[in-house]
Structure 1
Amino acid sequence: TTPPAGGTASSVPLTWSADSQAWKLGCGHDYVVAAPPGQVPPPPVPQDAGVWAASQNAVHGGETLVRLSVQGRTDTAVVLEALRVRVVGRSAPVPGNAYAMNQGCGGSITPRTFDVNLDKDRPIARAVAGGGVDGPIPAVRMPYRVSARDPEVLLVNARTQGCDCRWYLELDWSSQGRTGTVRIDDAGRPFRTSGIKGLPRYTYDTSARAWRPYS
């Protein structure tokens, strides 16, 4: 790997941001919370998911969807060569209850999507087909090209049934004879996903304003 000139983040020819609180179709997601239903507030609107999850010490249940936006710093093309998964911790799924956020589902555009099975010994980010209001989006494997005028949005869907997994992504890039790798994580910490198999699961009854067993 060719290190960036000067070793500073600004010398990397791309910028990125990652939202680990994305929900499937903008509405479907589970969180594991170590509290009974009577002590858990109603589900938030999607844009407030991070604040809600932090206030409840919630862990992503069953899957984590990371919406990754990548853009070049200039008009010079940067090639995104590969996206890799690094699992840095595995333990038994966290105890608690699973709370479903499936309220008010509607149409949502899905960007290029990668599927990750965290239960594999060596999980990989596999390109899969997506879709949205404008129709299906075929699976397109890397490499991709980005620049300041041509950003790319990727959706990584990491799933587990059997572990409390801590993981991050590595994105390989090349541009004008230089190469490098950037680590994609959750504000300096690994992403975290825990299985919900066997846990009590609840959904919110808006008419009763209370959590009810999922059926």
Structure 2
Amino acid sequence: MHDEQQTGNTENQVNGGRQGAVVQAGAISGGVHLHLPGDGLEDIESPLIVTVDRSGQHDPYDEQTVLLDTNPPEVMVREGSFRVTVESSLTGRAVILRRMRPVVLSRRPARRACHGLITVPTFRRMAPRHFSTDLNEATPQLQAEDADFPFSVSATDVEEFIITPASGGDEILWHLEIDWLCAGRHGTTIVDDHGQPFALYPRSGPRLGCDYEHVHGCPAPRLALESTRGTVLVGCFKGSPHGRIKPDNGGAILDFTCPNESRVEEYRRGRVVNYTVELIYGDPRNPREVFLGVTNVQPAPEAPKMP
């Protein structure tokens, strides 16, 4: 019996589909340098990453939402500014933003609403581009306060736009459209609220008469009564164990007392908590003297961190 010398012939095949970087070799001696191809524009619908948020005001208790007196109650964004941040999803490629335009999808007369809800604003992270628009016009256009389109964005060069729409006296459903150009290809990206139109409520809409205290029959306390989870708006401190919670469902702001003053750090501002809400009746001769009591306030488990 004798050994047969191997020829060293190797056959590699790659079949079907779209490949990125592929290495085929029978023998490799020394180092291998692998140069990966760039992002493929043809593989994606839009080369843009767009993030929308309300632009912060100086008042940390800025009224940014309203609660419609409907059944069930409906939360709408109050007329004000929107922050739109745009960047490229392609590594090494710039995207030209040719224009941006607002599109009105529907309108209706404003319904009565509670204007007493409060939220914590977010603050600017970079120098933004300011635009305004009148959604009452037949074909609304963005009006630049300084530099105007076109702009260029990349994965490292981001643009931030502050859009301030005026809605007149109507409730308006609308979205934004961004026309772009990249590597000879052009398209339009729709900017909305997670697949739904932006719902805008006018500042001149009819009020229920609420401020930080809600009038009898306002839907905000009713919605808060149904809530079980929220975010601490005003945190607790030793010697001052009283705080405030903003319910996730948009209900009225809730007052609570830290259950254990020695653990106030668990109830700091921005912490998500679970709780129970119940009605507390005051003077039985006054049927309107009803309060919301918050009990069993517990820090919600934090989401596990990705490895």
With normalisation by structure 2, the TM-score equals: 0.49
Partner of 2:52: 18
* 1:145-186 residue CA offsets vs partner (Å, 9 max, x unmatched): 111111111121222231110000000101222111100000
**2:65 corresponds to which residue?**
31
Mark the structure with the bigger radius of gyration.
2
Counterpart-to-counterpart distance in 2, 1:70 and 1:106:
17
Corresponding residue number in structure 1 for 2:85: 69
Q: 1:161 to 1:180 in 2, by over 3 A?
A: same
Name the CA distance, whole Å, in 2 between partners of 1:56 and 1:66. 23
Kindly indicate whether the alpha-carbon contact (under 8 Å) linking 2:55 and 2:122 is maintained by their aligned counterparts in 1. no
Listed one character per residue, the Cα deviations across residues 36-83 of structure 1 (whole Å, up to 9, x for unaligned) are xxxxxxxxxxxxxxxxxxx963212233x3221211122221110100
Query: Relative to structure 1, is the Cα distance of residues 161 and 58 closer, same or farther in structure 2, using a 3 angstrom cutoff?
Result: same
How many residues in Structure 1 have an aligned counterpart in Structure 2? 174
2:178: which partner in 1? Answer: 171
- 1:144 maps to 2:161: no
Q: Is the 8 A contact 2:55 2:124 kept in 1?
A: no
Higher relative contact order (CA 8 A, sep 6+): 1
**AA matched with 2:100:** L
Aligned to 1:85: 102
Deviations 1:58-111 (A, max 9, x none): 212233x322121112222111010011100010112222226388x9985662
Which segments of 5 or more consecutive residues in structure 2 lack a partner in the other structure?
1-39, 214-233, 235-243, 245-251, 254-307
For 1:55-134, list aligned pairs within 5 A: 57-63=74-80, 65-72=81-88, 73-99=90-116, 101=118, 111-128=128-145
Q: Percent identity?
A: 25
Give, in whole Å, the separation in 1 of the partners of 2:169 and 2:187. 33
Inter-partner Cα distance in structure 1 for 2:115 and 2:93: 46
In proportion to residue count, which structure has more strand?
Answer: 1
Is the CA contact (8 Å cut-off) linking 1:127 and 1:140 kept in structure 2? yes
Change (3 A) 1:24 1:125: farther
1 CA distance for matches of 2:180 and 2:141? 17
Q: State the partner residue of 1:156.
A: 163
TM-score, with normalisation over the residues of structure 1? 0.67
